[in-house]
């Protein structure tokens, strides 16, 4: 991406990293090997996003529904998440990137919860970009959790019912302090959101690819960004209104 394209960059990119198991089957690898391979793909993507000036990158590592997978796979994914956090901490410091996590932490082990909290505290002051990893996350859980917090605030008379609108709700939703998702990428060939960032992607541009996550490259990311740059984002307005605002 060149500097002349900077104005067309999304501020916030989200990625559903899908296709690890199918990659392993495709290459006749043992169970779990696809997840190991997929873990290595994230680093160059993060570095490229930081390099070209994207402010936030959010990746879907483990969904609320993934708890239903075979116990072997759940245990492997939890171990890989812990390994990833340990590996990412020095990288976050090197690249001045804040590391955050979203999701229902109640089902995670105390050890993993403590590690996540430590990583967030350790990188909280870093400002070049925010990398968020969604763990035990679901969009419907996120919206429900926000509604519970707002209801409690209303019961405590901290807010009034007539103050509740989309702007207020957005402050209680995960990542409410970051820009909304501009571009959502899903690898692996499926064409659905799978309960990911339902509120935050309300106006996101969608990019679906048959590429399996372990085969996703910086070059394909640039292709997705180029497609994003060519789309007209109207947010309910007409094309004529958008053109008038540009002139």
Residue 143 CB partners (closer than 8 Å, separation 6+) = 173, 198, 199
Encode 41-73 in three state secondary structure: HHHHHHHHHHHHCCCEEEEEEEEHHHHHCCHHH
Question: Phi/psi of residue 150, each to 5°?
Answer: -65, -40
CA–CA separation, 183 and 49 (whole Å):
13
* Polymer length of the chain: 247
55: nearest Cα among 100, 112, 122, 4: 100
Please tell me which residue in 6, 66, 68, 167 is annotated as part of the active site: 66
Q: What is the distance between the alpha carbons of residues 116 and 98, in angstroms, rounded to a whole number?
A: 12
> Whose structure tokens read 């490259």?
217
Please give the sequence-ordered ranges of beta strands (E in DSSP) within 160-201, or none if there are none.
Answer: 183-186
Catalytic residue among 18, 20, 21, 142: 18
Q: Is 43 a catalytic residue?
A: no
Q: Annotated catalytic, 18?
A: yes
At which residue do the structure tokens 């116990």 appear? 71
**SS3 state of residue 19:** coil
Q: Answer yes or no: are the C-beta atoms of 158 and 118 closer than 8 Å.
A: no
Measured CA to CA, the distance from residue 148 to residue 131 in angstroms comes to 26
Give the active site residues: 18, 66
């Amino acid at each position: 991406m060149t500097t002349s394209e900077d104005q067309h960059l999304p501020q916030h990119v989200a990625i559903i990293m899908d296709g690890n198991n199918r990659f392993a089957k495709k290459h006749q690898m043992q169970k779990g090997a696809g997840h190991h391979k997929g873990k290595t793909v994230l680093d160059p993507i993060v570095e490229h996003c930081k390099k070209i000036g994207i402010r936030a990158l959010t990746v879907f590592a483990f969904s609320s529904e993934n708890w239903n997978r075979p116990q072997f796979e759940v245990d492997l994914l939890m171990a890989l998440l812990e390994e990833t956090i340990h590996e990412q901490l020095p990288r976050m410091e090197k690249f001045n990137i804040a590391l955050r996590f979203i999701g229902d932490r109640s089902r995670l082990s105390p050890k993993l919860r403590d590690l996540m909290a430590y990583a967030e505290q350790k990188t909280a002051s870093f400002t070049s970009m925010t990398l968020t990893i969604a763990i035990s996350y679901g969009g419907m859980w996120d919206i429900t959790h926000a509604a519970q917090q707002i209801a409690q605030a209303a019961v405590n008379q901290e807010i009034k019912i007539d103050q509740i609108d989309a702007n207020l709700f957005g402050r209680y939703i995960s990542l409410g302090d970051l820009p909304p998702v501009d571009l959502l990428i899903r690898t692996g060939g499926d064409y659905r959101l799978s309960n990911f960032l339902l509120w935050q992607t309300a106006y996101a541009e969608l990019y679906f690819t048959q590429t399996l996550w372990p085969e996703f490259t910086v070059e394909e990311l640039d292709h997705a960004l180029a497609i994003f740059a060519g789309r007209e984002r109207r947010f309910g307005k007409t094309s004529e209104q958008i053109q008038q605002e540009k002139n």
